[in-house]
Amino acid sequence: MAINALAINVAITSPASGNNVSVINEKGEHVTIEKSSVRLTPIYKGALFAELKNKEANHQSARLQFQACGKSMDNFYCSKMYGDDVLEKKQKVPGTILQIAFDPFYVIVSYKPVITDLINQRRVGEDALIVCLNPKVPIGYWSAINQYKPILKSAPSMINNKQPLEELKFKACKHFVRF
């Protein structure tokens, strides 16, 4: 797969202020993302579009199978067999995604947080991830993408939120990823 020249700018950065990102949670513990634990995975539009179209086709196929099931069996049985989400009408994935000149669409930041408690004992937390959205991608695309690939819950809030987890997401995207 050819890599777009714009994607070269996505990299772990090392600002002069240090290599880690840290916030204080509601318990007063320091939650730190150390540079050494960070792994970046850029998601490019071609692969994303193919995956979304595949999921869209699978959803449509399941809807048709559910409708056929409903004609010959009880809807309750069909709902149990296919799940309730098959009834949800979903937006079409915009074909114009491929025309957007910016790549990658987003970057997944995988890391293990280090938590330092009030008596300075450190422990390593569970694997976690943050999704850093490319600010150059028009905002209207995210809802269509999110319904097939729910990434927005892992992205920093668009407003300046002072919740510790949201602040950590925002700082990590700003510190580790450059689009």
- Does this model's pTM top 0.75? My answer is no
Please, which residues have CB within 8 angstroms of residue 11's CB and are 6 or more apart in sequence? Answer: 40, 178
pLDDT of residue 40: 96
Residue 69 is assigned to a structural domain of this protein: no
User: Is 83 within the bounds of a domain?
Assistant: no
* Cα dist from 82 to 46, 72, 86, 156, whole Å: 29, 14, 7, 33
CA separation for the pair 72, 81 (Å, rounded): 13
Is 67 domain-assigned?
no
pLDDT at 8: 32
Task: Please check whether residue 159 lies inside any domain of the structure.
Answer: yes
Element spanning 123, H or E: strand 122-124
For the chain of 179 residues, list the mean pLDDT of each consecutive stretch of 10: 34 52 92 94 89 85 85 79 74 74 90 94 95 89 82 80 85 92
DSSP label of 133:
E
Would residue 9 count as lying in a domain? yes
Measured distance CA(173)–CA(55) in Å, rounded? 27
pLDDT at position 34 is 94
- Report yes or no on 65 lying in a domain: no
If you search the block for the tokens 């407003």, which residue do you land on?
A: 159
Q: For the chain, how many structural domains are there in total?
A: 1
The residue segments making up the domain with residue 164 are: 5-44+94-176
pLDDT for res 3: 33
